[in-house]
Structure 1
Amino acid sequence: MASIITMNHENQQATTIPIQFDIESNQIQEANENIIFDYAKRAQWLRAAVLGANDGLLSTASLMMGVSAVRHDVKSMILSGIVGLVAGACSMAIGEFVSVYSQYDIEMSQIKREIMKNGNIEELERKKRNLPSPAKAAAASASAFAVGAVVPLLAAAFIKNYLVRLIVVVVAVSLALIGFGGLSAIMGRAPMVKSTVRVLVGGWLAMVVTFGLTKAVGSTGLN
């Protein structure tokens, strides 16, 4: 709280008028900035989760389509999907863990250099808590991949007819791609239709190419 003094010229009396600095506004602005920063961090994690699920969906579906090009039984298709889910989730987890840990080490080194200058140990602990967790990042990445990979597996699990199974898998994957493409567009503030179509066409292309190339290799007698 601050004040200014005004002079009443009629009675020569000084009047004190309190003035409140815009402290509350500054505090509100800082709070809003923190909220925006936290929202941005959550948005990054959400976007990474959507992209991870999309990878799991497309990688597993393409693998299953490739195997089904040379093996028409449901067991081979499901088994290939399970292998793709496990291998992909492990790969995503390890890759994310190594990547985030490298970032963690770099930021920790920078923080320690700053702390050595001012000697504020409490600041070190506070900044350390704000760093990303490699273990959490790995778990989130693996989980997102697995969620996407489950879609084609569930679509193919209970259908014995070969052609019907392929159609159901393609339809289920297409619907999931539309959903993931829409979410990515919303989070990235991109055009909804354009982004969704791009993701959908890319997914179809991946499945068709995998199916066609595997079919061509299988026709050589290697299957």
Structure 2
Amino acid sequence: MFNRLFGKPKQEANALTTLDKLNETLEMLEKKEKVLVKKAAAEVEKAKEFAKGRNKRAAIQSLKRKRLYEQQIEQLGNFQLRIHDQMIMLEGAKATTETVDALRTGAAAMKAMQKATNMDDVDKTMDEINEQTENMKQIQEALSTPLGAAADFDEDEFEAELEELEGAELEEQLLQPATTAPAAPVQVPAGRQPARPIPQKRTAEEDELAALQAEMAL
């Protein structure tokens, strides 16, 4: 019982502690690697100086020390690779454990909800909702039913009366006289205008003829 309650937090704490320790070790190895790289580079410079001074033996010794530093650098690189691999595996395991715990918690919550929700209660609730919906429909239909004098009206009579009104309006529109467009002004070329134009009332055909003559004269 106590292992189930306190075992998982302890495991998570151990995983975090291990990751912190691995990070510290990785930082320490990286620092050592930087120091060795600087020492190897210094030995190369020494070998160059000895070679310029014709001191072959000292130059070779510097190159040997450089080779030893390079071997240590390679070894530290392998150590860092192992630690990186261990950290990746540990972080993956931690993520897997957290995912399983979350899924387990969700499944337990769903199971508890299912126990709390009885199917008989669901059916009873749905029956009550359907009953209330049907009652509301009946109330709405009762309120929309006409009462008093409006209940005796015949809808067919109103439709017939509406058709008569529409027919009378259409007949009135057909009997109205057609309106004619205002006559276009007659343009007469210079030299042909009468000295005293006599205003007279002309028909639409005469206006159209006069307009045509004016256009031909232009």
Shorter-chain TM range is 0.3 to 0.5
- Normalising to structure 1: TM-score of the pair? 0.33
- The higher-RCO structure (CA 8 Å, 6+ apart) is 1
Answer 1 or 2: which has greater strand percent: 1
Larger radius of gyration: 2
